[in-house]
Amino acid sequence: MDAVAEGLICRDPAEIHRLFIISLLKQDIDGALSLYHMDAHFVSGPGTTTVSGHEAVREQLEVFATIAGDMKLVERTMTVAGDIAQVKMQWKRASTGEAFTALDVLQRQDDGRWLFLIDNPYGA
């Protein structure tokens, strides 16, 4: 992980969720947001519509920062095809036991950074 003035740099798609959680635990919304493509799409909840763009994603990350300490990774699988990675991640809220399966799409940028293109924490 490299830290730069513009935020975090993720060069390994397998590291993006770790960097994401670390940022949220520190209440570093800007750091977490730097892991998202400028036109990223974020599904804000089960059965809700998708929001897009940094400002809309920032609002969602502020909500997620309030539960970051309660999130527990259960299992993750990843498929990488060139500059695209598909991630399926099972996670649960430790306090309630409520379980979710996230579906994310990551994209490698021209400079080698991996960014969230689609973040659906409640995916399936």
Segment 42-63 mean pLDDT? 90
Task: CATH number of the domain at 13, please.
Answer: 3.10.450.50
Q: List the domain range (segments joined by +) for residue 62.
A: 2-120
Report the C-alpha gap between 119 and 87 in whole angstroms.
10
Identify the weakest region by mean pLDDT among 3-12, 46-55, 98-107. 3-12
Say what the pLDDT of residue 106 is.
98
Cβ-proximal residues to 50 (8 Å cutoff; 6+ apart), any chain: 41, 42, 43, 44
Report the domain count for the chain.
1
Instruction: Copy the structure tokens of residue 45.
Output: 């909840």
Say what the pLDDT of residue 60 is.
93
- Kindly report, residue by residue over 59-116, the tens digit of the pLDDT: 999 988 998 889 888 899 999 999 999 999 999 999 999 999 999 999 999 999 999 9
Segment 5-25 mean pLDDT? 87
- Among the residues of 1-123, which ranges form H helices? 16-25, 29-33, 54-65
